[in-house]
Structure 1
Amino acid sequence: MNHKVEYQEFPVLKSKSFPYFIYQPPKDNSLALFHPHWHEQIIELIYMAEGEAKFQIDGQTFHAVEGDIFIIRENLIHAGEAINETPDYYAILFNRELLINPELLDYYDNIPLINPLSPPIVLKPTDANYRIFIEPLQGIIREYNEQKVGYAIAIKAYIFVITTELARLYSSEDKPTRSMEADKQNIKLLNQIIHYVEKHYHEKITLEEIASIANMSSSHFCRIFKKATGGTFTEFVNKFRIKKSEKLLDDHSLTITEISDAVGFCNINYFGRLFRRYKNCTPMQYRHRQ
């Protein structure tokens, strides 16, 4: 249902009872929060509780600070990086179609609850509609943290309020445009490329090889990839490899050189430089954390 890769292990939201998921990142001092991905039928809300981050959403870059609310609708490619240290944020994901009982649509036929949405990507505390969403979001976070009796039902109720407000404020009945269809095709293409990287990250991957798979010139592929993800293809591959190396570093039977080779870096010094860039420490320091 939703595209997911190993670095961001969100569950598939199949439960009709509680079709949502809440994620809070661990304080691991990592600059890489999540790599480019998207969700086909899932909306994601990100609330910045503390700290700063750089988000790339739908090809745009945003400086996220405390109090910001990000609304990431279905099929928007998004990625995130910390600026100084891992920020404190909450990601709330939910499936509108599973959340809403079809019988309710007969009573609320004047509110297109599952129509396409065109919300702003970010709401700041000074924006007009901010208060409408911050109150149920804070309710979700409170219930999630306290986990009192019935907290799961309470969270679902708050998400239903958010879903209704999104429909009231940002519902769109526009038919798909040529540009929207092109975006869908690009997402399908990027899906294919990301799966290829997942399978072959430990091998040498060249830009020419990937462009050939995409049936594009190298320059055109680079433009498409950067527009969609906010970063270069090389950055994506390097970040993916660094993430894979984290798990291997917990295996003390492997040397740093062996791990470097296992994740596709042919030069251990290059591996060390990239690891420090994305994790704020050396591979050896990461291995002996805690």
Structure 2
Amino acid sequence: MTYPKELKEYPQLEQKTYPFRLFINDRQEAKAGENILFIHWHEHFEIIVMQRGSAIFHVDSHPYEVEAGEVLFVPSGGLHVGYCLKDGPLRYTSIVFHGSLFEDWKQDPQHEQFVEPYVSNRYQFPVRPAEHMPSFAAQSALLQSIIEEDQVKGPAYQLAIKNYLHLLFTLLSRNFLPQQLVGSPKEHHSFNRERFKPLLTHVEEHFADKITIEQAAKTVNLNPYHFCKTFKKLTGRTFIDYVNLCRVNEAERLLLESNLSITEIAGRVGCDNPNYFTKLFKQYKGMTPSGVRKV
């Protein structure tokens, strides 16, 4: 998986007229604590289907532990990140699509009533719908049909996928829309998510720079204590841990894609001491920098 340089991601979809793509994330030897989905957000919907192993995904500050067979819905604009929970094989599929996929239904009054409120983000499905909908297992079978259609790519598979997704939204809406109409409208974008986006973007782009917790806290107008607490809740990691992760991920990319020496790479990612860099890299990646190049 390519490490994103900015938190806002622009998914490479199949066609402008078919804003859909399926991403398969398969690791034979994932390590506990390994970052399996780098923190980002996009204006597309994402449905994460866990197929093997176990992981924890943070979606808009809330952690969700998932095992094989479980499903998470990431709303449009939702900040999300994922980590492996146990050593071993891990596989999950991300179904990513833009709300404009359903443009053809806009003149349908039933679509406008039941699906459009979710497509336009006026309402959101629960991130883990199975917790609130006992019959969700039956509906989740539609997701497997979508995955199979995309893999086989038979005649009119795009139309089949579009219809499966629309049917899924319709069935979920039957369950969740009545209760959401009764309650007051929810805020669609987490305050903390929006508040922290500029800082996270800065860290992603300038991780080699020295930045203290006090400096980072000041950028979001929080004292260091509340900053550390909020940052951990939002990303699943401490601020220092997150900066270090950015550094070793960039270092891994440079080790694999460049001829720079290990000392040069250490300097580029903000580690002036090569011995400390080697220790840090091994802590996060399970092997030394030189070991990566030998694989």
TM-score higher than 0.5 = yes
Name the SS of the counterpart of 2:73 in structure 1.
strand
Residue 113 of structure 1 pairs with residue 116 of structure 2: yes
Residue 33 of structure 1 pairs with residue 36 of structure 2: yes
My pick for the range that moved more, 6-15 or 261-270, is 6-15
My pick for the range that moved more, 9-18 or 107-116, is 9-18
Task: Pick from 183, 199, 206 the counterpart of residue 205 of structure 2.
Answer: 199
What does 1:239-258 align with in structure 2 at a 5 Å threshold? Answer: 239-258=245-264
What is the deviation of 1:109?
A: 4.1
CA contact (8 A) 1:22 1:93 kept: yes
What is the deviation of 1:14?
A: 10
Cα distance, 1:67–1:213 mapped onto 2, change above 3 Å = same
Q: Gapped runs of 5+ residues in structure 2?
A: none
CA contact (8 A) 1:249 1:283 kept: yes
What does 1:128-143 align with in structure 2 at a 5 Å threshold? Answer: 128-143=134-149
1:60 alignment counterpart: 62
Name the SS of the counterpart of 2:78 in structure 1.
coil
CA contact (8 A) 1:35 1:239 kept: no
CA contact (8 A) 1:68 1:125 kept: no
Cα distance, 1:253–1:140 mapped onto 2, change above 3 Å = same
CA contact (8 A) 2:48 2:73 kept: yes
Q: For 1:215 and 1:126, how far apart are their aligned partners in 2? A: 36
Task: Pick from 107, 128, 139 the counterpart of residue 104 of structure 1.
Answer: 107
What is the deviation of 1:112?
A: 4.5
What does 1:203-222 align with in structure 2 at a 5 Å threshold? Answer: 203-222=209-228
Cα distance, 1:108–1:58 mapped onto 2, change above 3 Å = closer
1:50 alignment counterpart: 52
Query: Aligned residue pairs: how many?
Result: 282
Deviations along 1:121-175, one digit per CA (max 9) or x if unpaired, are 2256996133233211101111222223333332222222222223222233455
Q: Please report the TM-score for the alignment, with normalisation by the length of structure 1.
A: 0.83
Cα distance, 1:130–1:62 mapped onto 2, change above 3 Å = same
Q: Please report the TM-score for the alignment, with normalisation by the length of structure 2.
A: 0.82
Q: For 2:280 and 2:141, how far apart are their aligned partners in 1? A: 40
CA contact (8 A) 1:239 1:278 kept: yes
What is the deviation of 1:262?
A: 0.8
Q: Percent identity?
A: 29
Cα RMSD for the two superposed structures? 3.0
Q: For 1:28 and 1:166, how far apart are their aligned partners in 2? A: 33
Letter in 1 for 2:167: V
Name the SS of the counterpart of 1:104 in structure 2.
coil
Q: Gapped runs of 5+ residues in structure 1?
A: none
Residue 22 of structure 1 pairs with residue 22 of structure 2: yes
Letter in 1 for 2:79: I
CA contact (8 A) 1:73 1:117 kept: no
Cα distance, 1:200–1:101 mapped onto 2, change above 3 Å = same
Task: Pick from 234, 241, 245 the counterpart of residue 235 of structure 1.
Answer: 241
Q: For 1:286 and 1:167, how far apart are their aligned partners in 2? A: 48
Residue 144 of structure 1 pairs with residue 150 of structure 2: yes
Letter in 2 for 1:255: S
2:271 alignment counterpart: 265
